[in-house]
Structures are given as C-alpha cells and as structure tokens.
Amino acid sequence: MQMRSWKVTDFGKPLEMIQQEIPEPTGTEVLVKVTRCGVCHSDLHIGDGYFDLGSAGRLNMGDRGVPLPHVLGHEILGEVVKGGPDAGPVPTGETKLIHPWIGCGECSICKSGQENHCAKPRTLGVYRDGGYQEYVLVPHAMFLVDIGDVDPSEATPFACSGVTVYSALRKAQPVLDDEWLVIMGAGGLGLAAVGIARAMGFKQILSCDIDDKKLAAAKDMGATATLNISGDDAAEALATATGGGPRAVVDTVGANPTAKLGYGSLVKGGRYVIVGLYGGDFTIPLPTLPLRAAAVIGSYVGSLKELKELMELVKAGKVKQVPIENRPMDQVQRSLDELRAGKIVGRVVLTND
C-alpha cells in the first residue's frame, strides 16, 4: 500500500507530493497513522536549508545531516497502527501525541532524560521523516504521549510550540508576583507562552509584538498587558509598562531587535531566555553581564518529561488553547507560505482524517 508524502526535494524550493510505500516498522519502531500535524516556523528554516547566524554566516542544514528528500513536520499526532518485532506491547488503535525531540538513546545526556540535548539527534521532521505525510515511524513507544480527552487538533501543537515555551518558562522562573514576565512575539509560540505562563502561575505578563492583531490575541490568551514595540520609543515604553523593567524575558522571536530590547530591559539579576530562531545576532558589552548579574539562556524545545508534565496541565483544563485553524494536509505549502508572510494568527494544524 502507498501513502502521500510532502517532501523537501531541494532546499529553498516548494514541497513536492510524492507517492511511496507505507514503511514497515523494524526493531522497536512503531508505525503511526498521522491524523494531525502542526505547521511550525522552524519548518521554514529547515526547508530553506539554513539558519541565519548574522555576522557568523549561515548554519546549513545539509552540513548538519538533514537528508534530501526529506519530510518536514514535527508536531505530530496520530493513531498507533503496529509495532516492530522488538517493540513489545503497543497501544494499537489509540490516538497519541508524539514527542519528536529524540536522541541517540545511548549517551549520558539521553539517559539523564535530556534527549532533546543529544549530540546525535534523531528528531522527527528534522533528521528523520516527520508528519507531513500519512504515516510516520516512531523509534520507540516511549515517545507516544497520552492526550486524554483533549481535542486532537488542540493537543497537536504542544509537541513543539507548547513544550518549547514550557521549558523556557521554567528557566525564566522564579518571577515574584509583583515582578513582570515579558514575552517577545505574539505568534504561535508567543501566544502559547502566554497561556502556559498563566497555567504555571505567572501573575504579570506583558506581550510584545509589532502587530496589533496578534497583540489582541495575546490579550485574549491572558496577557496582563500588551505593547506594540514597532516605535522608536519601545525601550522607554517597555520600562514604563513594567515599572522599571521585567525580571524575565522569554523571546519567542529571536531576532536582533527583540534580543536587544529584551536583554536591555532586564532589571538587575534578570534572565533573558531565547527560544526563537528568526536569526541574526546582537552584541552584549561583557562587563554588563556581571555588573547587572544578568543571564542569557538558550532554551531548545523540551524533554519528554516536560511534555508529559505540560500535558497534565492541559488535560486538567488549566491551559488556554491558542487559536487553531484546521486545514487538509494537501494545503501544507499554502500554510507555509502564509506563515512566512506573517498571515497566521495562532497555529495551523493539518489533518489527514
């Protein structure tokens, strides 16, 4: 039997729909019928074939071991079909969210539960074929996560945008009740960060963006206040809005303007946590790091343990869902194009029902 796969066949070119045989699971692998796959901004960078490193040039995906042709898509949810000969009992017929940030499974980092930091990653949608297809192979059943009674489309983005900001918010803690958390960006990641921050108990949350429509969505997600940072007075306005500066900034954009503004706004002892991958660089005068006792922290997605913790909050009804638009899987290229153009509010989830 055959399935449809939407593949990157050449970096920087539109995806191609290719018919191929449904794969057979081997070893501990589990075959999952993809019913949902979220569209993430990282897919644009991987599809382009590089990340922008600013003055340091480019980080090329081909040099990093991303194969071609390749299936993108790492926010994957689907129905378990069967396991390989060494998989043991698998939850056949059940719908599961897939943790895509998979390591080698053998190194000390993986064994410590930080497989998302493995030096030899097997990430679905990055180094192994992902969810922009009708079936996907998962290396082990341990990466299948229960969603309870949560709507499948609402559960899907938590595999990336959700667990990414959850992990970043944990690194931003502690923030006292009378202190501010600033979230840079009100796209899919930024909106998820607002909703999850509320569930985690952050009291004062300022959402910053240059798009008033997205800021309105952030307010609806539970932001205490919003700020359009497109003006020349952004730094002064941010300081005023936070009573002198925030204790922590989570940057879901990761561009030069948000980095400069975010780090520069911190109070003494503050933490700037960056998860966005837009690209570029910024310069920090080195004496300001110790003099301000400031921290710059990079946060890469999240661990399996963190995804399970997050899903417990979601299943308990504590996390407000970002706006979701369902589209058929064959609209994947349109969705990527609109995401690149900044036309998506919230998250697009592709369906294979």
pLDDT of the residue at 353: 83
As a whole number, mean pLDDT of residues 315-337 equals 97
Task: Name the average pLDDT for the chain.
Answer: 97
Report residue 319's pLDDT band, with 50, 70 and 90 as the boundaries. very high
Q: Read off the pLDDT of residues 187-220 as tens digits, 9 standing for 90 and up.
A: 999 999 999 999 999 999 999 999 999 999 999 9
The model's pTM is 0.96
Whether the pLDDT of residue 58 is over 90: the answer is yes
CA-nearest of 148, 186, 181 to 276 is 186
Instruction: Compute CA distances 131 → 6, 36, 108, 285, whole Å.
Output: 9, 8, 28, 42
pLDDT of the residue at 224: 98
173 burial via Cβ count (<10 Å: 0-12, 13-18, 19+): middle
pLDDT of the residue at 303: 98
Are 49 and 60 contacting, i.e. CB atoms less than 8 angstroms apart? yes
Q: Read off the pLDDT of residues 8-21 as tens digits, 9 standing for 90 and up.
A: 999 999 999 999 99
Q: Read off the pLDDT of residues 107-145 as tens digits, 9 standing for 90 and up.
A: 999 999 999 999 999 999 999 999 999 999 999 999 999
Whether the pLDDT of residue 274 is over 90: the answer is yes
Q: Read off the pLDDT of residues 225-252 as tens digits, 9 standing for 90 and up.
A: 999 999 999 999 999 999 999 999 999 9
d(CA 136, CA 192): 26
Q: Read off the pLDDT of residues 24-51 as tens digits, 9 standing for 90 and up.
A: 999 999 999 999 999 999 999 999 999 9
pLDDT of the residue at 116: 97
